[in-house]
Structure 1
Amino acid sequence: MRSKPELQSAIRAGGRAVLVINARSRRGRRLYGTARRLLAEAGLEFAEVFPVVEPDRLNELFDDVLALEPDLVVVGGGDGTVAEAVGHLTHRDIALGVLPLGTTNNFARSLELPLDLPGAVAVLRDGKVADVDVGWFEGTTPENADKTGDADKTGNAEATGNAGDAAPPDDPARHIFANMVSLGLSVHVAERVPHELKRVLGQAAYALTAARLLPRHEAFKATIRIGGETYEMDTHQLNVANGAHHSGRRIARDASPDDRLLAVYRLGDRRRLRLASATARHVLTGKWRSLDEDAFLTTDHVRIETDPPLNVDVDGEIRGRTPVTVRLLGNALRVVVPQSFVDT
C-alpha cells in the first residue's frame, strides 16, 4: 500500500482514473452531461467511463472497474451507489472520489463534501487523500433474500482487516458498509417508499411514508451486547452509525467516519409518539448533541438480538436479519476529501 501522499501524488500526476455515474439516481440522469463537462474543465481525465443504467448490475460492473487497476474511482450517485463502491474499494490501494447525486447523500455529508456539483468537482481536483473507517456487518440471511449472488464479491474483510478473508459470494448476510445499519420502522419505510414519490420529493418522501406506516408499526425488544455489558431496550427504531449523518441530518457534532467508533442509538421507546418526538429532536438538535450523551453507546464491536427477529437495512439495502454482529474496520477506506477534513 502506498502512503496517502504517494497515492495523492500519483493521482495528480495523471494516474489512472475511472468514472462511474449512476444515471438512475435522483440527480444522476439530469446532471450526467454537466458532470462530464465540469470534470473535463477541471482537467480530470478518465481511462474509462461507466454510465450505470441498470443499478442491479453495479456489483459486476465494479469487477470491470477493478480490472483496470485504477488509482482513483470517482462515483456519482446516491448512498446506495457509493455503498457498493465502498464494498469493493475497502482495503485497496485505490482512492474513492464522490459526486453526491442522491437523495440524502449521507456519506458525502460525513466526508464534509460540498453537495453542489461544482464544489464536489473542485474537491476532486484540489482535495487530499484520507483514510476513513467503514463497518462490517454479519447477520442471518434476510427473508426473501436472493441467494444467487446478491452479496458483494470483493473480499469483504473480517474484523481483522484481512482483505483475503472473503464472504462467500452467495451469502447476502455479510457486508461491508459505509454509513449505517438500521432496524425497525426505517426498514419498512425503505421497502415501501414509492420510487416516483422519492424522485419528486426527495427526502420528504421518506418522512411521508414513515408517517403513514407508524400507526401500525409494532415496537420490538433489542438486546445489545458490547464487551461484557448487556443493554435491553424497547423501541421502534435502532441504528448503528459509522458515519455522521442519518436521513441527511447530523447525528452528533462529534460524530465522524474517522473517529474509530460505531454509535449505537435508538429513537424513542415502545410508544409511537416517543419515536416521533425523538426523531424531531434528532433532526433539530443533532448538530449540537455529543456522542458522550447517554443516548449513545459507542464501541467498535456490537452484537444485537431482537424479539421478534427483524430484517436489517445496511446502507439502504436489506442485507440480513437479526441477530447481527457489527464491527468497525478502522482506516480501511481511502477517500478524496476537502483539505479541511481532519484526517486521524
Structure 2
Amino acid sequence: MRPSDEVAARRIGVLLVMQGALLTGFGLLLTRWLVKVPPFTAEDGINRAFAAHRSAGWNSATYWLSQLGNTHAVVLMTAVSVALLLLPVYGRLQREALFLGAAVALQSLVFLMVTAVIDRARPDVAHLDAAPPTSSFPSGHTGAATALYGGLAVLVLIRFRGNWRFVPAAVLFSVPVLVAVARLYRGMHHPTDVLFGLLNGAGILLIMGRSLLPARARPQVPGQAEHITSAGATAVTRYGRRAAVVVNPTVVDDALHDAIRRTLGRYGFQDVSWHGTTEDDPGNGAVRRAALRKPDLIVVCGGDGTVMACADGLAHSGIPTAVLPCGTGNLLARNLGYPVDPLAALVAALEGTTHAIDLGTADGDGISGARFAAMAGAGFDAAVVGDASSRMKAGIGWAAYLVSGVRHLRDPGMRLTLRLDDGPELGRRARMVLVGNVGTLQGGVPLLPDARPDDGVFDVVLLNPAGPLGWLRAAAHVLSRPHHDRTPLPPGRGGRFADGALEYFTARRIEMTFERPQERELDGEPVGPGVRLVMEVDPGALLMQLPATSPTASSSAPAGTEEPAVLTGVHDGYGNARSADPRHHGRRTLGR
C-alpha cells in the first residue's frame, strides 16, 4: 500500500533528522579525532598534490565544472526541470516534479543543519574560488549536484525504456563526481568533504525516491491489456481459474483492494474471493478458508507477520502463493525479489514462475510447531523488533527498527549452548543469534550472504562484538562482503570473521539453550522470552509464485535436490498433472 501523504511526510522528516545526525556525528568525530589518524592524515597531501599540478587549462575546466554545483545554477536548473515536468505535454508528472524539487531543497536543509554544528576550515592551499562562510564539511556544491543531476538520472531511468536511456543517465550520474573532483582541484574542500557531500545527496535521493517514486509495473504496449483480458477469459471458461486474496485490512485500503481485483481480472482471474485477517486470526485461519476453495493462486497482502501465519496454513498445499509487500519490513518479499509497490509485485508475480521454497518450524518453551519463512532469532534482534511499536512503524517504516536498535546497543550478552544437527553441544557467548532462510535484512544489509530459501539448510550467525570497535568490525565485514565472498559452509561447520565478532554456521536443525530467558522472534514477530529454541528446516514446503527476475526463481535448484515428480492424477487448473510433492511442480507462467 502506498503510504498516505501524512505518513510519508512523517517518515521523510524522521529520516532527514537521522541523516543529519549521522553526518553531524561523523563530522564531529572527523574534526576532533580522525584527522589525526591514518588514512585521514593523508587528506592534506591530496590537496597539496592537486595544487601542485594546476594549469591554466585545468583551472578553466574545473571552474565551469564547479559552476554546475553552484547555488544559482542548481536553483535555476531545478526550477526549469520542475516546470518541464509539470507541462501538460508530459502528462503533468507531479510526483516526479515533487521528487526532484524536494530532493534539491532538502539536501540544502541537511547541509545547513550540519554546517551549523561542524566548523571545519578549508584546505591549507591557495583557493581558486572565494570561500563561502559555511564549513568545509560537507561539500555543498557536491551535495547539490548529486541531488539535482542524480535525481534527473533517476527520472530518466524510470520514465523511459530501452538501453539508450543508460547513456544520458550515466552522463548525469557523472556530473556530481566531476564537481567533486573540481572542488578538490580548486582547493575548496578536503576529500572527506566531497565524499560526504556525495553521500548527503545520495541519501536524500534514496529517501525521496522510496517515498515518492514507488516501483511500477512494466508498462503495457498498446493493445496488451485487451490481449490479457481475452486470453484470461478463455482460460476461465476452459479451466475455471480462480484466485483467493488474504488481506490484512489494517494495511490495505479500498483503493488498493479495487486495484488488486482489477489487475487479477485482467490476467483472467474473474472468480476472486477475499479473506480478511483479524486480531485473533493473523492469517492462518483465513488462508485455510481460502485454500478450501481450491484456488489456482493465493495472494497474501500484508507484512511479515501475515505472511508467516499464511505460510503455516499453506505448507505442502501445492497452491502457488504470491506475496504483496504491504507491511513495514516485508523481509521475505524483498529477499524473493518482489517489487516494493504492491501492484507492481502482483503484476511481476502473475508474469513470473512457480518455485518451491523452504520453511522453518520452531519449538521451545511456549512455542510448539510454529512456522517461519524468513528469519528467526534470539537476543538483540528479538529485543529490537519487540521494542519497535506499531505506531512508530506506521510513522517511519522500517527505520523504526533503527531507532529501537540504538536503545538496545548496550544490552548485556547471553550465554547459550548451541547444537547443530547431530553434532556436539557448543558453548558460546553472543549478543544475538539469527537463523536465516533468507539473508538480507531491512535496508539491504546482507548479514547472511549465502542464505538461499531453497537449499534445504539454514544459515546461522552469532553476533558477539567486543565494544564499539567490535561493532564497527562486524559492520565493515558485513557491508564489504555482500555476496558470496566466502565458500558456503557445509552443514554443521562454522567459521569466524571480523576478529570473532561474527561466527557463521549452516545446519538443518538448530537447538539453542540459554542460560537465562531471552527475547525470541519468528519472522519479526515477538514470541516471548524463553530459555530454549529449536528450529528445523522443512524443504520445499511452500510453493511461491515469484517474479521472473527473482534471484531465487532465476537460479537452478541446488544439486541433489531434484527428483522425478510423482504424479497424482490431480489437475492443477491449467490442464497439467500436479505432483504430490510441491518441490516438483516446476515453473509456469500465470499471465497468459
Is the TM-score greater than 0.5?
Answer: yes
Structure 1: 5+ residue stretches without partners: 1-8, 142-171
State the Cα distance separating 1:90 from its structure 2 match: 0.7
CA distance in 2, matches of 1:319, 1:197: 20
> What SS does the aligned partner of 1:329 have?
strand
Q: For residue 15 of structure 1, what is the aligned residue in structure 2?
A: 241
Q: What do residues 309-338 of structure 1 show as CA deviations (whole Å, max 9, x unaligned)?
A: 323211122336332211111111111112
In terms of mean alpha carbon deviation, does 73-82 or 238-247 score higher?
238-247
Q: For residue 524 of structure 2, what is the aligned residue in structure 1?
A: 316
More helix by share: 2
Alignment check: 8 A CA contact 1:73 1:95 kept: yes
- Taking structure 1 as the reference length, the TM-score comes to 0.78
Alignment check: 8 A CA contact 2:241 2:271 kept: no
Q: For residue 326 of structure 2, what is the aligned residue in structure 1?
A: 101
More strand by share: 1
Alignment check: 8 A CA contact 1:24 1:53 kept: no
Alignment check: 8 A CA contact 2:350 2:545 kept: no
CA distance in 2, matches of 1:102, 1:87: 18
Q: Equivalent of 2:507, from 286, 299, 312?
A: 299
Q: 1:322 to 1:289 in 2, by over 3 A?
A: farther
Q: Equivalent of 1:186, from 367, 372, 381?
A: 381
Question: Within the alignment, does 1:196 sit opposite 2:391 as a pair?
Answer: yes
Q: 1:289 to 1:233 in 2, by over 3 A?
A: farther
CA distance in 1, matches of 2:538, 2:432: 24
Q: For residue 209 of structure 1, what is the aligned residue in structure 2?
A: 404
Amino acid across the alignment from 1:113: Y
Alignment check: 8 A CA contact 2:275 2:287 kept: no
Q: Equivalent of 1:274, from 451, 465, 470?
A: 470
Query: Mapping of 1:1-344 within 5 angstroms?
Result: 13-25=239-251, 31-52=256-277, 54=279, 56-141=281-366, 172-215=367-410, 217-226=411-420, 227-249=422-444, 250-269=446-465, 271=467, 274-275=470-471, 278-279=474-475, 281-282=477-478, 285-287=481-483, 289-290=485-486, 291-292=488-489, 294=496, 295-319=503-527, 321-340=530-549, 341=553, 342-344=555-557
> What SS does the aligned partner of 1:175 have?
strand
Q: For residue 209 of structure 2, what is the aligned residue in structure 1?
A: none
State the Cα distance separating 1:14 from its structure 2 match: 4.4
Structure 2: 5+ residue stretches without partners: 1-234, 490-494, 497-502, 558-592
Alignment check: 8 A CA contact 1:225 1:302 kept: yes
CA distance in 1, matches of 2:515, 2:424: 19
Number of matched residues? 303
State the Cα distance separating 1:236 from its structure 2 match: 1.3
In terms of mean alpha carbon deviation, does 98-107 or 288-297 score higher?
288-297
CA distance in 1, matches of 2:482, 2:281: 34
Alignment check: 8 A CA contact 2:349 2:548 kept: no
Alignment check: 8 A CA contact 1:236 1:270 kept: no
| Structure of higher RCO (CA pairs closer than 8 Å, 6+ residues apart) | 1
Amino acid across the alignment from 2:328: T
> What SS does the aligned partner of 2:478 have?
helix
CA distance in 1, matches of 2:343, 2:283: 25
CA distance in 2, matches of 1:58, 1:265: 29
Q: What do residues 205-255 of structure 1 show as CA deviations (whole Å, max 9, x unaligned)?
A: 11111102323x121012111222333221211101112323353334432
Q: 1:42 to 1:68 in 2, by over 3 A?
A: closer
Alignment check: 8 A CA contact 1:306 1:323 kept: yes
Identity fraction in percent: 27
Superposed CA RMSD? 2.8
